[in-house]
Amino acid sequence: MPSAIICKDLVVQRGTNLILKDLSLTIESGQILGLLGPSGSGKTTLMRSIAGLQKIKSGEISVLGMKPGTAALREKIAYSTQTASVYSDLTCQENLRYFASLFSHNEKTVDEILEEVDLIAVRNQVAASLSGGELSRLALATTLVGSPEILILDEPTVGLDPVLRIQLWELFNKLAAQGKTMLVSSHVMAEAEYCHGLALMRSGRILAHGTSAELREQTGKEKMEEVFISLVKGP
């Protein structure tokens, strides 16, 4: 199967700042790629670029063989921004019905999606009244509307306690097992364990790309924080 996402020599400038500097990255179909890196390293900028929302200075991006922003891609790629973008005065069900109305084709019903993210019990609660974990799952649910093949999730686990974080990662793995390709960013290095592949980012560049086992072997370090520091400092 061809790679789902290919970025080649990507250069992105925002304002006068050069944000992505000759960045190349490939994500295989059905894989979860964890995008890890410190604040300001360019994770959101890379995600916006892949989602077709960011002007590119040079380089190439191919998503399912198409250019980001192509009309045919619109229903195949879902992007959840860093701040949950749901309507706080609508219930879970109403939020999803609204998002579903924007698509010509929906693979699953609203209730099937609510079931999938375990929100059936609170489906009639307005988003403003949800707990942090429920709100994160509702944000995820909005990306499952339509029939996306690619999910881009910008720090979906931020602010969640470790138990809720693990639950959400289990859900991501379930979605990947259904064939969805996922790019998920995080600050939390420990979340690396739940990804098929990892891309460690720093200052607009990919420092390293591989499985957590490969990166451990490469650096001789056990903890992901230590792996990252070792890659930053060099041998």
Ligand X SMILES: Nc1ncnc2c1ncn2[C@@H]1O[C@H](COP(=O)(O)OP(=O)(O)OP(=O)(O)O)[C@@H](O)[C@H]1O
Q: Build a one-symbol-per-residue string for 182-221: x at contacts with ligand X by CB under 6 A, - elsewhere.
A: -----x----------------------------------
Q: Residue 197 touches which of ligand X, Mg ion, none (CB < 5 to 8 A by kind)?
A: none
| 14 touching ligand X, by CB under 6 A | yes
How many other β-carbons are positioned within 10 Å of the β-carbon of residue 9?
12
Write the single-letter amino acid at 146: G
Candidates 31, 45, 80, 91; binder of ligand X (CB under 6 A) is 45
| 15 touching ligand X, by CB under 6 A | yes
| 54 touching Mg ion, by CB under 5 A | no
Q: What is the largest CA-CA distance in the chain?
A: 55
Candidates 31, 41, 44, 181; binder of Mg ion (CB under 5 A) is 44
| 55 touching ligand X, by CB under 6 A | no
Kindly compute the dihedral angle of the four CA atoms of residues 81, 61, 186, 222, in this order, to the nearest 10 degrees. 170
| 17 touching ligand X, by CB under 6 A | yes
Asked if 197 and 27 count as a contact pair (C-beta separation under 8 A), the reply is: yes
* Alpha-carbon span 121 to 3, nearest angstrom: 38
Asked if 11 and 22 count as a contact pair (C-beta separation under 8 A), the reply is: yes
Structure tokens, 145? 């509307």
| 39 touching ligand X, by CB under 6 A | yes
- Return residues touching ligand X (CB under 6 A): 14-15, 17, 19, 37, 39-45, 82, 187
- Return residues touching Mg ion (CB under 5 A): 43-44
